[in-house]
Structure 1
Amino acid sequence: MKKILIVCLFALISNNILAQKKYEANWESIDSRPVPAWFEDAKFGIFIHWGLFSVPAWGPTAKDGVGIYDRYSEWYWKGISDPNRKSYAAFTKFHNNTYGKDFQYQDFTKDFKCELFDPNEWAKVFEDAGAKYVVLTSKHHEGYTLWPSKESWNWNSVDLNPHRDLAGDLMKSVRNKGLRMGYYYSLYEWFNPLYKANVNKYVDDHMIPQMKDLVTRYKPDVLWTDGEWDHPSETWKSTEFLSWLYNESPAKNDIVVNDRWGKETRAKHGGIYTTEYDLVHDQNATGMEINHPWEECRGIGSSFGFSRNEMLDDYSTSEQLIHILVDKVARGGNLLLNIGPAADGTIPVIMQQRLRDIGKWLKVNGDAIYGTRKWANSPKVDKDTKVYFTAKGKDLYVIATKWQDSPIVVAGIKIGKVQMLGFKGAIKTSIKGDKLTIIPPALSPATNPSDYAWVYKIEGVL
């Protein structure tokens, strides 16, 4: 009993010390805050790009000869306004032919009605997909907010169409499903007069108060910033805000932030590190070693916002998406997979179908994904890898993204009971030295446990 009391007292003292730690407004202090454990356990999240750009819902595609960053439909306003962008000709041609040269971007507000938006239906789709957290664009670079922000008076979803607190409504439904919920927030606004005239006043009077309102009002689990590249973090007063977030805000204990806090901060400062379509500042991140909590974000198609211009070939298949998830998790990361709802509030059926397939696979194989970490002895992952590894507790998971009848050899394993997740039959193995050989079973359509990837669980070897 005395020993138990001592352990409990030590735990209380440790928690009290952590609770009392104050984070100062400098990167050394801010970076010392651990990323909350729930994030690395979650592994799979849903990104949602939704805003006025969902009305035109158009962006160039690969057939237009533009790179991935120029295909984003959520950049529509910038696309029709900036002659220096490679996609300017494609955007302006579509806009002028469809709406006319005199049609202003602000006029899209009348058609952002969201009349079919049911947050409970969305939350069910995310739950069925096997996602553990959701991140919604509270405000993209256009400056239009999905909550009643006083800093964006008459440029938000409550003052204008659809006259709803979209951010708050979805937060309630997502959390009712037991999922974590957070928000994307753009630091800059393309055409905000205050930003263009006086960035320091914009930060003090608009951006910081607006972010604090978002956090205080909804207590999000994630604050996913973007649009940081115009200025260094000192201009954005990022460390000052983050010290408030970690020390004083009502979300301070569980909130996760990313690394987009200034033009110098990606993969260096903040919280989790981020890649985007396997790129970090145009550097190919495929197979990259990232020894820090991190997350890949990408669309199911080649745009984050819904693009009516995309064809079937512009969308990743269910198999490709599941393999992407496996790759990121095996390398120690998360996947934040984006959907782009339509202006009426519906999730395009092709996106629902992809999410359902991922959820179906995770129902069988989720034990190899959720709560796992990168295996310390994993062979280096590259573009040709077909066998991946994840670890949890004393168990090792071997994930084959291509079925093979030939044996799978796992080095560094001397013992272990092996099963295939979802398969009721026995798995034959042999051990020679420090190598475990797994003999794949003969499967039929009736006994095949899942599509796209197969998982062998080796118990009690770590």
Structure 2
Amino acid sequence: MKKRLLLLWLAGCLSTTLFAQKKYEANWASIDSRPVPGWFEDAKFGIFIHWGLFSVPAFGPTARDGVGIYDRYAEWYWKKWSDPTAKSYPVFQKFHERVYGPNVKYPDFVEGFKAELFNPDEWAKVFEQSGAKYVVLTSKHHEGFTLWPSAQSWNWNAVDVGPHRDLAGDLIKSVKDKGLRMGYYYSLYEWFNPLYKENVNRYVDEHMIPQLKDLVTRYKPDIVWTDGEWDHPSDVWKSTEFLAWLYNESPVKEEVVVNDRWGKETRAKHGGFFTTEYELVHSDNSESMKFSRPWEECRGIGSSFGYNRVELLEDYSSSADVIHILIEKVSRGGNLLLNIGPTADGRIPVIMQQRLKDMGDWMKVNSEAIYGTRAWDKAPAFKKGNKLFFTRKGNDLYAIATEWTDQLVMDGISPKKVTLLGYNGTIKATGKGGKWTITAPAVTPSTIPCQYAWVYKLEAAVK
């Protein structure tokens, strides 16, 4: 008996030694040594949500106004309407004067931000059915208004004013009840916070860091997605100090994932996963999108993150577009964080719901070619206009065709079996010496497995 107890004690000590968490220090060398938790790279598809006071005017320029994509963000309403040097200032200024007049100030929009139709269970159902595995909500955008009862934003949060409701807390409960992971976007800076403008060090110590820690300890998010970092280097934001706390002491230290927006010098260099935005990459690798860490593309279904009431159908990506974007990013080793912009009263616009439903219908057939896959290192070099993409899971390859063709010819493979996901018939595949030809089956509207893109599974195709 004593011998058995001794062995159990030794086994426990060994287990503790093997699995004890590394102590991370407040410097980038140490912080960057933490691996990105594997669940993130396996998830592949997430939903971004931009929701706040900017959802009341819900206005931004479009391509018809002759401005670039990064000038069309409706969530930047307060800043662009207030900055005469901004390229899109005339468009915002003209709209505000015509619709609201000179006496309406941005904080007055809180009276229209009621979220009276917000049903977090319905939102979570939409997200689940889309095939997304995680959700990221704007807890606070650059306007400084928080969607939870933050003590640092007294009378400038969704519980004290406006909806009088903990929007961030209600949504995370519903999302996690569906088995999805959820986190929060958080803007490090605030455009017009007097403390930030007067004394950034006090702002960081007294406002930003306490607010971030409250968000983490209160809701235990799976993701901390920061932004608004470009005004200062990471040492001013005390980013490594916060991340050391997050990784060592916080209640989510084991599983939490963070991005790379922690200082003006950090994108695609430091932090957790790297980020792109409408394919903008803050480094010299935009063509290849080959990163040393897991990465994620974020973008809207339209050309804005916040809801823009003046966008027309032509401003929205089609269902085929968003599915093809997902395929492209995943085939290149990334994730897609696809944004929706809810209305001020708490509805997900129907056109956005429709796009997400079509993605979910496609994923029901083809999800094994997306979740848990990695880029194939021998895939043909990516070029704009590609119609054939590859993902890999173990020794299996998935050839994803975004255009239905009678034959696909592929090099460098030797599959033991070829099937078309969602199709019950036999697929003709012939090859020799690593060059294979796959013949598409004759299908009818009742036998074609899905729309928009089709996946051939090549079993044991690579070694």
Give 1:52-71 correspondences, 5 Å limit: 52-71=53-72
Partner of 2:27: 26
2:195/2:203 contact within 8 Å kept: yes
Partner of 1:151: 152
The alpha carbon displacement at 1:461 in A equals 2.8
CA distances 1:3-49 after superposition (whole Å, capped 9, x unpaired) = xxx9xx99984674443310000000000000000001100000000
TM-score w.r.t. the length of structure 1 is 0.96
The alpha carbon displacement at 1:440 in A equals 1.2
Q: Distance in 2 between matches of 1:283 and 1:113?
A: 43
2:268/2:283 contact within 8 Å kept: no
Partner of 2:183: 182
In 2 relative to 1, CA 29–400 (structure 1 residues): closer, same or farther, beyond 3 Å? same
Runs of at least 4 residues of structure 1 off by over 6 A? 9-12
Give 1:131-150 correspondences, 5 Å limit: 131-150=132-151
Give 1:271-290 correspondences, 5 Å limit: 271-281=272-282, 285=286, 287-290=288-291
Q: Give the SS at the match of 1:207.
A: helix
Q: Distance in 1 between matches of 2:401 and 2:76?
A: 38
Partner of 1:444: 444
For residue 461 of structure 1, what is the amino acid of its counterpart?
A: A
The alpha carbon displacement at 1:287 in A equals 4.6
Q: Distance in 1 between matches of 2:431 and 2:12?
A: 43
Q: Give the SS at the match of 1:370.
A: coil
Partner of 2:84: 83
1:278/1:284 contact within 8 Å kept: no
2:414/2:460 contact within 8 Å kept: no
Q: Distance in 2 between matches of 1:258 and 1:10?
A: 37
For residue 441 of structure 1, what is the amino acid of its counterpart?
A: P
CA distances 1:257-306 after superposition (whole Å, capped 9, x unpaired) = 00000000000000000000011249783553234200000000000000
Give 1:8-407 correspondences, 5 Å limit: 13=14, 16-281=17-282, 285=286, 287-405=288-406, 407=407
Q: Distance in 1 between matches of 2:258 and 2:126?
A: 25
The alpha carbon displacement at 1:416 in A equals 1.8
Q: Distance in 1 between matches of 2:283 and 2:34?
A: 28
The alpha carbon displacement at 1:100 in A equals 0.3
The alpha carbon displacement at 1:319 in A equals 0.3
The alpha carbon displacement at 1:393 in A equals 2.0
Over the aligned positions, Cα root-mean-square deviation in angstroms equals 1.6
For residue 409 of structure 1, what is the amino acid of its counterpart?
A: V
Q: Distance in 2 between matches of 1:408 and 1:19?
A: 50
2:62/2:72 contact within 8 Å kept: yes
Q: Give the SS at the match of 2:25.
A: coil
Q: Give the SS at the match of 1:445.
A: coil
For residue 331 of structure 1, what is the amino acid of its counterpart?
A: R
CA distances 1:325-378 after superposition (whole Å, capped 9, x unpaired) = 000000000000000000000000000000000000000000100110111211
CA distances 1:93-123 after superposition (whole Å, capped 9, x unpaired) = 0001000011110100111000000000000
Q: Give the SS at the match of 1:80.
A: helix
Q: Distance in 2 between matches of 1:369 and 1:125?
A: 19
For residue 381 of structure 1, what is the amino acid of its counterpart?
A: F
Q: Distance in 2 between matches of 1:184 and 1:320?
A: 25
2:36/2:273 contact within 8 Å kept: yes
Q: Distance in 2 between matches of 1:104 and 1:302?
A: 25
| Identical columns (%) | 70
Give 1:401-440 correspondences, 5 Å limit: 401-405=402-406, 407-440=407-440
TM-score w.r.t. the length of structure 2 is 0.96
For residue 397 of structure 1, what is the amino acid of its counterpart?
A: Y
**Runs (5+) with no aligned partner, structure 2:** 1-6
**Runs (5+) with no aligned partner, structure 1:** 1-5
Q: Give the SS at the match of 1:264.
A: coil
Q: Distance in 2 between matches of 1:268 and 1:333?
A: 16
Q: Give the SS at the match of 2:20.
A: helix
For residue 445 of structure 2, what is the amino acid of its counterpart?
A: P
